[in-house]
Each structure stands twice: as C-alpha cells, then as structure tokens.
Amino acid sequence: MNLVYENLYQVSTYVPPIDLSFNQYLLKGEQPLLVHTGSAQQAPLLLSKLIEELGEQKLSFIFISHFESDECGGLSLILKEYPEAIVLCSEITKRQFDGFGIEINAKVVKPNDTFASDSYELEFISYPSEMHLWEGLLVFERKRRIFFSSDLMMNFGKSEGQVLKRDWHLEVEHISEMQVPDSEKRALLKETLLKLNPAFIATGHGPCLDLQKENISEKLREVIQTPPDAAFTIITTGKAGAHAVNSWNSYIRISKNQELLVPVGRMHQTEENLRANSEVMLTISNREVQGLSYKGTGFLIQGHANMVTSGENYDLIKENSPWARAALVISISSLEQTL
C-alpha cells in the first residue's frame, strides 16, 4: 500500500481502456477504516494488501459513499475476511445491499452526522450525484482534515500514489453539472464544502490533492513592500503557449488566507487562460532587499489563481486600486527564494 498522508494508505488500480485509476484507502488506527472496496475484480488485490498492512489487526469499519460497483462491488469478498466490519453508508445504499441480498452489518448515517473512534472523527456530507440523484455520502475526517471526495473531485490517468498541490476553493469552484447535475443541490453542496478546511483530498479517481498552503515569508513581504517600486511578472499557459503579464509590487495585497491579491485592469488573456488552467508562475524581485548573498533578492512562486469580482478579497484590492475590475487571487503552492 502507498502511504499518501498521515496514517492514510492507498491501493490504486489503473484500467487502461477508460484511462482511469480506482483508489481505495485504509485509515490506520485503533479501529481501522476502509474507504471503498473497489469492484469485484479489483477487490482481491485490495484484500491481499489489507491483510499485509493490518497483520493481526481486524478491519473495524468500511465507508461506502454510494452503491456502485467501483465503490462497493468488492464488499462481499472483503467481508469474508473481515466479517465483523461495520459498513457506514446512507439509508438508500443500505436498501440496495438488502435488495441485492448482500448481508452486511450496517450503521446507517445521515448528512451532518458525526462518528468518532479513538483515532479519527468522521463527518458525513450529502452527495447528490449518483444515478437518479439518490443521496450518497461524502466523508470528512476532522483530526487529519482529510476529505474523501469519491467521484466528486477526480482526474483521469494512471495515478497510483501520486499527490498534487491544489487549492481547496478552486477545487470546489470547479464542481460542475458533470458531477452534480441538479443546480440547486450543487450550489448547496459547494456552500457546505466551503465551510470545511481540509488539508488533503483522498480522491476516488486520479491523484490525491495536497491543499496545504505555503506561508508568505517575511522576506517576500519585504520584497513586496520595500520602495522603490518594481514590476513583477505573472505567467499563465493557454492554447497559444505561455503568456506573461506585468504588474507593480506595491499593488499586491495579502489576504487573510495567505494568498497574493493583484488588481486586474485588463489581463484578458490571463483571464482566458485561467479558465482552462489555474496554474500560475510568478517572478518578483527587489534590488533594495538583502538577499541570500548580497543586496537584491527575488522569488519564483508557483500556485493556482482565479479572479473574483466580489467578497473580501475584492474589497481589499478596491481600497487601493479603485480602478480594478477584479482581484486576481493567487494561492501559493511553492515559494523559492532565488537570489
């Protein structure tokens, strides 16, 4: 099993014809929790890895987001080895198990319910995505701040053990009708998710997502705030390749979530590029600030960005740059002092 986060182990199977990876997770602790079983074809591999990882320990709980083959098709096999395991699922999912004659010890849980063991604390969230909009569940583990996203936040490709840096707000913003077709339920889900503060997304398909932010260092603040003013560069990527745009250091504001805020005057190409690809790169420097070996320093910054036209980040930008049509919000995933 691949250790992808604190106490969190992943088994992943890649299926080439559909270019998709199927991930299951074991959260180790006093009462080990399995998240999804994979399909009947995937379960033998999962089971052998579970036995290896757990040794003498028994599996205590299995969380099933919704009744579909890749989330629970392997349940019968897993339960043969671990018959005492209790299945955490929604009322509707339980009804499907009953209807298919699959015998389980179920603990039916509802959205907003919580469930704590010695080593983790689960919070269940409504997931109105599956066929017929039957209510499934998502789960958030509060102690380590892990969000298990099932099919909600997913990517294609072979991704075993992979972890990418991402931003929570952008991930939530990108939930579309593909994932949750009902617009009212989608809006409500987004609102609920934005109240969480996860550090890690354990996805059902595709790479896991690390949401931890880099703190803005004192040195970078000095570079931004020390006169005389200098230009910095923002690079995005679009269909026509890389696109660079400049702004002034003194225009930058820092949000309370440690994001860089930049006023948007024109930046139309940047805006278009960000719609398809939120990744940005920045270079910023200041000749008057002490660097690693001489006076003058600079940073290479990587992150994800979006534009906002309302809310506190926009208000903060408007205070100093009343001409701004939007605020560019850059959340930093890596920060390197280059000089």
* Residues of the shown chain interacting with Fe ion in the complex, contacts defined by CB under 5 A: 68, 70, 151, 204
Question: Which residue's CB is nearer to Fe ion, number 68 or number 123?
Answer: 68
Residue 188's φ and ψ, nearest 5 degrees, are -65, -40
Least CB distance to Fe ion at residue 137 (A) = 12
Smallest gap, in angstroms, from Cβ of residue 275 to Fe ion? 26
Q: Which is nearer to Fe ion, 133 or 231 (CB)?
A: 133
Give the nearest distance from C-beta 25 to Fe ion in angstroms.
Answer: 13
Of 267, 227, 282, 219, the closest CA to residue 250 belongs to: 227
CA distance 53 to 29: 12
Least separation in angstroms between residue 224's CB and Fe ion is 43
- Whole-number minimum distance, CB 21 to Fe ion, in Å? 10
Q: What single letter denotes the amino acid at residue 320?
A: N
Instruction: Compute the distance between CA of residue 149 and CA of residue 108 in angstroms, rounded to an integer.
Output: 19
In terms of CB distance, is 151 or 171 closer to Fe ion?
151
Exposed, middle or buried: residue 136 (CB in 10 Å: 0-12, 13-18, 19+)?
buried
Query: Dihedral sign, CA of 162, 48, 122, 143?
Result: negative
Inter-residue contact 106 to 89 (CB < 8 Å) = yes
Minimum separation from the CB atom of position 136 to Fe ion (A): 8
CB of 68 or CB of 167, closer to Fe ion: 68
Which residue, judged by CB position, is nearest to Fe ion in the bound state? 68
**CA–CA distance from 59 to each of 29, 82, 83, 272 (Å)?**
10, 6, 9, 48
| Pick 153 or 216: Cβ nearer Fe ion | 153
Distance CA 28, CA 34 (A): 9
Burial of 17 (0-12, 13-18, 19+ CB in 10 A): exposed
Of the pair 42, 321, the CB lying nearest Fe ion is at 42
Please report how close the Cβ of residue 2 comes to Fe ion at its closest, in angstroms.
18
Structure tokens, 303: 């992150």
DSSP classification of residue 226: S
Query: Which CB atom, from 204 or from 298, has the smaller least distance to Fe ion?
Result: 204
